[in-house]
Each structure stands twice: as C-alpha cells, then as structure tokens.
Amino acid sequence: MQQMAHLPQISPTTLAELQSDYLKQATALWNSALGQGEAPAVSDRRFAAPEWRAHPAASFMTQLYLLNGRTMQQMAAAIEADDKTKARIRFAVQQFVDAASPSNFLALNPEAQKLALDSHGETLARGLQHLWGDVQRGHVSQTDESAFEVGKNVATTAGNVVFENELFQLIEYKPLTDAVKARPLLMVPPCINKFYILDLQPDNSLIRYAVAEGNRVFVVSWRNPDESVKHLGWDDYIETGVIEAIRVAQAISGQDRINTLGFCVGGTLLATALAVLAARGEQAAASVTLLTTLLDFADNGILDIFVDEASVRLREATLGPESPKGPQLLHGQELATTFSFLRPNDLVWNYVVGNYLKGEAPPPFDLLYWNGDSTNLPGPMYCWYLRHTYLQNELKQPGKLTVCGEKVDLGAIQAPVYIYGSREDHIVPWTSAYRSTQLLKGHKRFVLGASGHIAGVINPPPKPGKPPKRSHWIAEGKAGTALPADADTWFKSATEHAGSWWPDWSAWLASHAGEARPAPKTPGSRKFKSIEPAPGRYVKVKA
C-alpha cells in the first residue's frame, strides 16, 4: 500500500474538473451534430479537405477525436509524478492520440474514400503497391527514393578521397578559388547519419559554401558499420576516427593547428578528441565550430525519455561486449524509426495516409532522402555514448572520463569557439547547446538560428534578388566580456538578423584561417594520394 501512494496519479479534484469540462464539450458537440448549434472550426491540417466537413458523421467524428485527444493530453499533463515519468506519459499519450486519428484509417477517412470511388479503385491499387514496396524496403517512404543517387544529384561537390581506414574516408574538396587560406577546415559530421546532409545540393551545401569562401576543406565520411567492425567502441571513434582525420589534415596542409567543425554527435566526438590531444600536450585546433552539439547532457530534450539505468543496461546486455552473443550492431533502421516517431504526424502518419490510403507517391525531396539513408552503429560505441553522456552526463566533468588512456577535460582545449544552436531543435535544445559556452575556455561566440535541428543549420544565403529565409540571433558583447551563464539572459541581449547565419560564421572563421596562398593543384600529398573521387565508396553503402 505504501508503494501504491508513489504511483503516478491525478488528484481527484483535477480529475473531476476534467471530467466536467469534457462532458460539457461533448454535449455541445452532440447538440451541434443534431443541428442545435455550430460546431467549432477545425484548424488541424489532417482534416482540411472539404470531405471532412461535407459528411456530418465525419465532421462529428473529427470533433470528438480532437476533444478526446485534448482531454487525454490534459490528463497526462495533470499527472503527479517525477519529471521523467510525466514526460514519458505525455509522450506515450501523444503517440496513441496521433496513431488513433480517423484520418489514418480508410474506413474513417472520407477524403481517401472519395478518391477511391472517383478513380474506380486505382488509388487503392497504387496504395497497395506502395505498401508492398515499403515492406520490401523496411520503412515508410518519405520521398521518391528513385529520384536521388549519392554522387550524382546529392553529394556532388568535387573532391577526392585522400585517406581511408576501417572507420572513415577523408575527403579533400577541390578548391573553387585561386587562393585558399593556409589553415584547412576539417568537418566532422555525425556518425549517426551520412555526411552529405552538409552537401545535399549545390545551392544548400555548407561544404561547397565553405570551399567557395576560400577554405581548404576536409570532411570525414564515416563508414556504415557492418559485422566486421561491430566490436568498435567510443575510443576507436576518437583515436582511429577523429584524431586520425586531424593527423591527416595536418600532414597534407603542413599546418600544426587546423580549423575544426563538428555537427551534432560529430561535435561531441570532435570536442572529446581535442580534449584527449590536449591531455597529451597538443593543441590541434586553431578554432572549433560546434553545430547543434551537446557537451552538457543535463537537458537532452525529448530523447531523455528513452534513457534511464534500466534501458541502458538492456542495451548493454544485448549490444555491448557483455552480450551473450558478443558485441552487436545497432541497426540504422531502428534509429531512423525512433527519430521519425519523435514527430509522428509529420514523418510517419502523413506518409501512411498519402502513400497507402490515397495512393500518392511522395515527391522527391533531398533532405528526406538523406533522412531515410540510415546508418548502423557498433553496439559498444553506442552503449558507451548512452551511459556516459545521456545517462550519467560525465563528459562535462573535468577528469571524470578516461578516453584513449587520457583524462578528459574540455576546459583544456585552447581555441576560440563558434557555437550554434537552433531555436526549435527538439533533439538538441538550444539552451543545452548554449551550455557549452560554460565548459569551453576559449573566446566564444554563440549564434542562435531559427527552425529545427537540420533546417536551422542548412540555411544558405539567398540568391541575388531572393528574400532571405529564416533568421538568426547574435548578442554583440564587449570585447573580452564573458557570455552569461544563463541562455535566457543571453537571448534578452541578442538582436535578430534576417537570413542565414553562414556569412557571420564565414567571417569569424576567416579571422582564424591564416594568410592566403595559391590553391593546391592536386589533392592530398605525396604520402596521401587520391584514392577515388568524392563522395567515395563508404557513403554509398546502405544499412
């Protein structure tokens, strides 16, 4: 009985208020269905088609569904429990509400039914074909995957693979200017996805933009792990991955200190590698750029609901070295499905309805093609990452973690830092990205962009004559003044600027890139010769 008192519950008073409010609204809906009042307007785009309003039964069902959904969410919000339990309950309720939408079922969707009747069943036949195709592919199609080919119409910036090992290929991009800055730029993308999110199309490629700005650009293209590397851990990704990439970029450019950039978990890997090198007495970075990166994992956004001691132990027991079967791969489709269900209406049910009920082929969209091009991860690496960052938040604690035989202290990295966060990022909340300003000791610049985890980053300057997209915020403090500890305090002093943050970053990067020198005529060096043209073999391997 004592344990029962600690179970999540809703106070009787709150529950009674919710029940009373529900009965009033349900009665009003019933009366409106009988012609005794006007039903409230529906703004939900799932029910925007006129068929939902034309059929009284469908209209009533829509209103009742929305009422039920609101009430369930209010009940979830009223739960008395610890924060993580409340968040998990809210997430589970939202998943159920989104899945139960009448729009997701042919028998309840008047729009899909009318399309089937008007087409004499052709939409249903096409929907079944799409369903069978997705069953064979193992995922719900979000775009026309046949419209894209890596190296042909995505990841097309010219360059050469100049190094490869069991973990990555290093690409050096062909200069687009007669002169390049002396210090090269090494980009470390997330190993959870493929690098060409930074090189989708020429007009929205951060890689091409950096090259066109006169930088000598190197990019890590992570291998899509298979059974031969399923045993690799976090230390391997640091030593054999990021540190090795730094070594090669240093050797080819002849520069002891290089500019570095990390995106998402690529930024976490980069910062860890630089801290390992600092512990060895080497300062390899002339500058560090971190894009939507977590170093302090105190607030992990929506992903926090998936992480606790029990879930991490389960992963370790099934994927880690202590697994009865030995180390295993975390398959990319599992990760991709998890990320899609963080926004189920946009990334799951929208395509279920369109692809299967309406028989519509999804349009070609480069970003969604990349989103579906999933990657595996070695189980030991993934388990270490989960436990020591998301669960125990140890990376921010000086000397707490030993990586590659060295005590990690992020504060030992001696380099200026450009930190970017996206205001609507649900994977790396911008306030969490901002916390990196308190961990790194070099001179720091923080920039906040509009939109989400990907769209905020991939926001190029507009073409001449075109209006700017989105915006960004910068707080111009006095030289030598430290950034405030609190993100909201920083935001109060920030000024919104229209358009892309890329030019601001490029100007900052140029101040750390050294003098201009003639662009190299050939990629690599005598020791590191061209292996194959960019984007290389590794990025083309499917999970």
164 with 114, same domain: the answer is no
For 151, half-sphere exposure in the C-beta direction (CA atoms, 13 angstrom radius) is 14
507 with 413, same domain: the answer is yes
For residue 424, is it within any domain? yes
CA–CA distances in Å: residue 512 to residues 181, 497, 509, 515, 529: 9, 23, 5, 9, 27
Mean pLDDT of 17-41: 85
What's the pLDDT at 358?
96
236 with 384, same domain: the answer is yes
What's the pLDDT at 477?
64
For residue 34, is it within any domain? yes
403 with 497, same domain: the answer is yes
What's the pLDDT at 139?
85
- Residue 4 pLDDT greater than 50, yes or no: no
519 with 445, same domain: the answer is yes
Domain boundary among 93, 118, 143: 118
Tens digit of each residue's pLDDT (9 = 90 or more) over 139-177: 899 999 999 999 999 999 999 999 999 999 999 999 999
Q: Predicted confidence band at 480 (pLDDT cuts at 50, 70, 90)?
A: low
Which residues, listed in sequence order, are joined to residue 419 by a DSSP beta bridge? 290, 446
Which residues, listed in sequence order, are joined to residue 378 by a DSSP beta bridge? 329
Angstrom distance (rounded) from CA 114 to CA 213: 53
Mean pLDDT of 79-97: 92
Angstrom distance (rounded) from CA 428 to CA 262: 14
What's the pLDDT at 3?
45
Confirm whether 264 is a catalytic residue. yes
Which residues, listed in sequence order, are joined to residue 518 by a DSSP beta bridge? 179
Considering only residues 347 and 235, tell me which one the structure prediction assigns the higher pLDDT.
Answer: 235
What's the pLDDT at 298?
94
Domain boundary among 118, 141, 172: 118
For 457, half-sphere exposure in the C-beta direction (CA atoms, 13 angstrom radius) is 26
196 with 61, same domain: the answer is no
What's the pLDDT at 340?
86
What tokens appear for 505 in the block? 């970053």
Tens digit of each residue's pLDDT (9 = 90 or more) over 186-240: 999 999 999 999 999 999 999 999 999 999 999 999 999 999 999 999 999 999 9
CA 139 to chain centre: 18
Taking the CB of residue 399, how many other CB atoms lie within 10 A of it?
Answer: 12
3-class secondary structure for 267-285? HHHHHHHHHHHHHCCCCCE
What is the domain extent for residue 502?
Answer: 159-331+376-540
Q: Predicted confidence band at 37 (pLDDT cuts at 50, 70, 90)?
A: low
Q: What percent of the chain has pLDDT over 90?
A: 83
Tens digit of each residue's pLDDT (9 = 90 or more) over 394-433: 999 999 999 999 999 999 999 999 999 999 999 999 999 9
Considering only residues 288 and 82, tell me which one the structure prediction assigns the higher pLDDT.
Answer: 288
For residue 133, is it within any domain? no
First to last CA, the chain: 49
Please give the DSSP secondary-structure letter assigned to residue 469: P
Taking the CB of residue 136, how many other CB atoms lie within 10 A of it?
Answer: 7
402 with 492, same domain: the answer is yes
Tell me which residue of 366, 344, 195 sits closest to 266, measured CA to CA.
195
Angstrom distance (rounded) from CA 62 to CA 112: 15
Q: What is the largest CA-CA distance in the chain?
A: 85
What's the pLDDT at 2?
43
220 with 314, same domain: the answer is yes
What tokens appear for 471 in the block? 């915006």
Quick one: 152 exposed, middle or buried, by C-beta within 10 A (0-12, 13-18, 19+)? Answer: exposed
Angstrom distance (rounded) from CA 494 to CA 433: 16
DSSP, residue by residue, 313-379: HHHHHHHSTTSTT-S-EE-HHHHHHHHHTTSHIIIIIHHIIIIIIS-PPPPP-HHHHHHHS---EEH
Q: Predicted confidence band at 478 (pLDDT cuts at 50, 70, 90)?
A: low
What CATH number does the domain containing 193 carry? 3.40.50.1820
For residue 148, is it within any domain? no
Into how many domains does the chain fold?
2
Tell me which residue of 541, 543, 536, 542 sits closest to 157, measured CA to CA.
536
Query: Over the Cα atoms of the chain, what is R_g?
Result: 26
461 with 380, same domain: the answer is yes
What tokens appear for 434 in the block? 């901002």
For residue 369, is it within any domain? no
97 with 169, same domain: the answer is no
Quick one: 251 exposed, middle or buried, by C-beta within 10 A (0-12, 13-18, 19+)? Answer: middle
Domain boundary among 87, 118, 149: 118
Mean pLDDT of the chain: 93
Tens digit of each residue's pLDDT (9 = 90 or more) over 99-145: 999 999 999 999 999 999 999 999 999 999 999 999 988 889 999 99
CA–CA distances in Å: residue 98 to residues 92, 345, 346, 356: 10, 7, 10, 17
What's the pLDDT at 260?
98
| From 191, 264, 383, 404, active-site residue | 264
For residue 137, is it within any domain? no
Angstrom distance (rounded) from CA 168 to CA 261: 16
60 with 202, same domain: the answer is no
Taking the CB of residue 59, how many other CB atoms lie within 10 A of it?
Answer: 20
For residue 513, is it within any domain? yes
For residue 396, is it within any domain? yes
